[in-house]
């Protein structure tokens, strides 16, 4: 690889995510786990955050509904693969 080339393709080949997608995945998984917590204060905080533009943008970017944990990881990986594929062309 040349110094000016992105390492995203190498990460893609290795089945790894870049930092942005790792961060988003961890954030979404944390928020998903908060949906099952039995703490009224945190439930209110989650309800307020779910109305924020940051949350709405993140869910629409990855095409995710927070209620379904099984698809979060696959959607984040699919988004990363789409980013890498768009850079190749």
Global pTM reads 0.76
d(C-alpha 5, C-alpha 14), whole Å = 16
Average pLDDT taken over every residue of the chain: 84
| Distant-in-sequence, close-in-space partners of 40: CB < 8 Å, separation ≥ 6 | none
pLDDT, average across residues 61-84: 82
d(C-alpha 89, C-alpha 77), whole Å = 19
Residue 48's pLDDT is what? Answer: 94
pLDDT in tens, 8-34: 777 777 888 888 899 999 999 999 888
Please check the confidence at residue 64 and state whether its pLDDT lies above 90.
no
Q: Report yes or no: 24 and 80 within 8 Å, Cβ to Cβ.
A: no
């Amino acid at each position: 690889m040349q110094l000016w080339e992105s390492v995203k393709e190498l990460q893609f080949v290795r089945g790894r995510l870049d930092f942005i997608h790792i961060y988003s995945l961890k954030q979404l998984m944390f928020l998903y786990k908060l949906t099952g917590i039995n703490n009224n204060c945190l439930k209110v905080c989650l309800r307020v955050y779910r109305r924020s533009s940051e949350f709405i943008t993140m869910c629409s970017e990855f095409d995710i509904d927070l209620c379904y944990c099984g698809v979060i990881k696959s959607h984040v990986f699919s988004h990363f693969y789409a980013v890498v594929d768009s850079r190749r062309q």
